[in-house]
Amino acid sequence: MLRSTVIFWAVFAAAAACRGPQLADVRLDQHPGFAAPADFPGAGAIMKGFDAADVEGEWRAGDEVLFGLRLRRATGDRHWLLHVRLTEPVALARVGEQGAVLDPVPPIDWTLRVNGEPQRFRSASCRVLATVHDADGNVLGRSEPLLPREFLARGFGEACALVQQQRRVVRRAHDETVFYQDLDVRPFAEATVAAMAMLQVVQDDEVLAPLLWEVIEKPSVWSVVKNLGAKVVVRPRFHAAVETRSPVAVAVARAWRVPLALVVNEQPALATELLVVPSCVPFALAAGIVGALAKSPLHTDIEFSMLLLAARRGSAAPRIETAGKSQAAFGR
């Protein structure tokens, strides 16, 4: 089994109506603080435009998303493009990976501590090609990570539905001790795994990984020794999510802004706000995340922003035949 461990504390929200067919290129609705499309002149040569969200749509090889990334410091801004393309809706094992070559990759296991109790989560994998470009579109690096397809497909929709339902009966929505009473927290944990999977795409990339540590507060030497390494706690606050305008309203009508904190060895390391829409294809490839704004809690002059610039479907369901194995579009 592939294993990952994340320590999870509390919760987050999102969802909306998902729809059908292709759209012409649309103008992104700017959100204050987030990176702007104009910062990425090379984006259009890689891909552009959006296909409408489709709640019944299957995952297809060729589904793709394009993000603009901005690192802002007092000394100036730096920009990159992250292009993620689905190559295997059902990831097949390669030489050196777990499982027999060309058999489906074994499920990914995640062990999360949810409100103090360890819980196990499992998902089949998909494989993507992640390409990093500079702002002008020049290729800087490539990787082929495995992602938890089922968590990405669920995204934040079910968690949002629970939050909306809970708000009808709990007046003190911002009192988390009251808000989460009697709620099934698994959908919240699954949404958190999806967010962590997208973070992992950045973390595992040789070009982008160093950027994280320019924003995240590093633990002290004593903290690392005391904790036998770095203990990372993700603290999303689903109960504090607020509905906002969708940056691609013509493709998906509603969006939510959700605060999330990253704590390393019991010290605040990153304050993040996610901008999320329903996880319908083609947005499911990014778990419905269409933007993020992350700030250092101690250094206010350091800020990282991510904005979805394009999202498109792959061509309709060709079958891939490989040494007796076949793969077609994969449904939700």
Q: Is the pLDDT of residue 21 over 50?
A: no
User: How sure is the predictor about 171, in pLDDT bands with cuts at 50, 70 and 90?
Assistant: low
71 contacts 77 by C-beta, under 8 angstroms: yes
For the chain, the average pLDDT equals 79
255 contacts 276 by C-beta, under 8 angstroms: yes
Q: Percentage of the chain with pLDDT > 90?
A: 35
Instruction: Give the mean pLDDT of 19-31.
Output: 50
CA distances from 295 to 39, 260, 311 (A): 19, 11, 26
Among 43-52, 145-154, 190-199, where is mean pLDDT lowest? Answer: 190-199
Specify the residue for token string 């979805």: 308
173 contacts 183 by C-beta, under 8 angstroms: no
pLDDT score at 108:
84
Instruction: Give the mean pLDDT of 166-182.
Output: 71
Peptide bond into 282 cis (omega under 30): yes
Q: Is the pLDDT of residue 284 over 90?
A: yes
> Per the structure block, which two tokens stand in for 17?
């109506």
Instruction: Give the mean pLDDT of 278-292.
Output: 92
